[in-house]
């Protein structure tokens, strides 16, 4: 059996930047074991699998090299990019995923892809886990949490950029991952409202290059702190990525660019 595969760099307009995701579209679901094996072989942050139903909705699932992921933003962006390219006449795509329901995706006039996600605003944590404190070389100023991750607030960009981590300690926080973030203040980040990094040793690997799902929490968190609902974010990994975020009640609109890296076939 041959399966078409597309590899897309998401949240960037430049190849080799942003976050790579593989996209596989099938008529029927492959077995869970086969999807996990393909994701492991791809060794990207995520591989997205899609099946179209008779109502025109694409059911989507996401797999890291280690496990199935409940919600992935950058692979959703990559999947929408593939579908818009295959069907230039369509204006709206609807995805369905168990953890987040129906997701509506559109292309904006600027060419960016806008995704309508649930607002996952995190809550402040008073009792910070020992594994989180031991797992980061710089002590948090504040810590927040939702169902995906702990969100560590720092005062300085240098803390976000230079913090060292102990992955064995952070794995103890499973199934939650760890985000470090701060307000963007310096001239080098003048085009952004906040920056972040995402560590996920328990679920995917060392550091995720750009994490759309995390920004459904980061955007409302910083919207409250900065008093604005439209924010531009930079995820400060080695590859880097830019996300436009709009907080609208219980929804967060996240927009970004994407670029094709590869099209090929899997033989299984």
Residue 3 has pLDDT above 90, yes or no: yes
Residue 39 has a pLDDT of 98
Residue 28 has a pLDDT of 97
- Mean pLDDT over 132-148 rounds to 98
Rounded to whole angstroms, the Cα distance separating 201 from 177 reads 7
Q: Note the pLDDT tens digit of each residue in 173-220.
A: 999 999 999 999 999 999 999 999 999 998 877 999 999 999 999 999
Q: Note the pLDDT tens digit of each residue in 40-93.
A: 999 999 999 999 999 999 999 999 999 999 999 999 999 999 999 999 999 999
- What percent of the chain has pLDDT above 90? 96
Contacts of 245 (CB under 8 A, 6+ apart): 215, 218, 219, 230, 231, 232, 233, 252, 253, 254, 255
Average pLDDT over the chain, rounded to an integer: 97
Helical (H) or strand (E) element with 216: helix 215-226
Alpha helices in 28-108 (DSSP H): 32-42, 73-86
Residue 51 has a pLDDT of 98
Residue 184 has a pLDDT of 98
- Burial call 59-69: b when 16+ CB within 10 Å, e when fewer: ebbbbbbeebb
Record the tokens describing residue 70, joined without a space.
Answer: 């409940």
Residue 203 has a pLDDT of 87
Lowest mean pLDDT across 5-9, 20-24, 97-101 = 97-101
Prediction pTM value: 0.96
- Please count the other Cβ atoms lying within 10 Å of the Cβ belonging to residue 2: 9
Q: Which residues participate in catalysis according to the annotation?
A: 46
């Amino acid at each position: 059996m041959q399966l078409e595969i597309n590899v897309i760099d998401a949240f960037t307009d430049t190849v080799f930047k942003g976050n790579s995701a593989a996209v596989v579209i099938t008529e029927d679901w492959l077995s869970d074991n086969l999807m996990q094996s393909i994701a492991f072989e791809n060794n990207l942050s995520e591989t997205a699998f899609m099946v179209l139903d008779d109502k025109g909705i694409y059911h989507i699932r996401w797999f890291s090299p280690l496990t199935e992921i409940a919600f992935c933003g950058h692979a959703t962006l990559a999947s929408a990019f593939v579908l818009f390219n295959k069907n230039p006449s369509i204006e709206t795509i609807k995805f369905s995923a168990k953890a987040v329901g129906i997701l509506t995706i559109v292309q904006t006039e600027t060419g960016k892809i806008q995704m309508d996600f649930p607002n996952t605003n995190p809550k402040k944590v008073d009792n910070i886990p020992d594994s989180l404190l031991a797992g980061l070389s710089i002590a948090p100023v504040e810590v927040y949490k939702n169902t995906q991750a702990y969100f560590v607030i720092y005062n300085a960009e240098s803390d976000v950029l230079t913090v060292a981590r102990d992955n064995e300690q952070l794995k103890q926080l499973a199934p939650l991952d760890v985000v470090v973030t701060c307000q963007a203040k310096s001239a080098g980040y003048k085009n952004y409202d906040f920056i972040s990094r995402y560590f996920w040793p328990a679920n995917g690997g060392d550091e995720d290059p750009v994490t759309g799902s995390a920004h459904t929490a980061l955007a409302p968190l910083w919207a409250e702190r900065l008093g604005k609902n439209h924010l531009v974010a930079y995820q400060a990994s080695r590859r880097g990525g830019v996300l436009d975020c709009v907080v609208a009640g219980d929804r967060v609109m996240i927009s970004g660019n994407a670029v094709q890296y590869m099209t090929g076939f899997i033989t299984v």
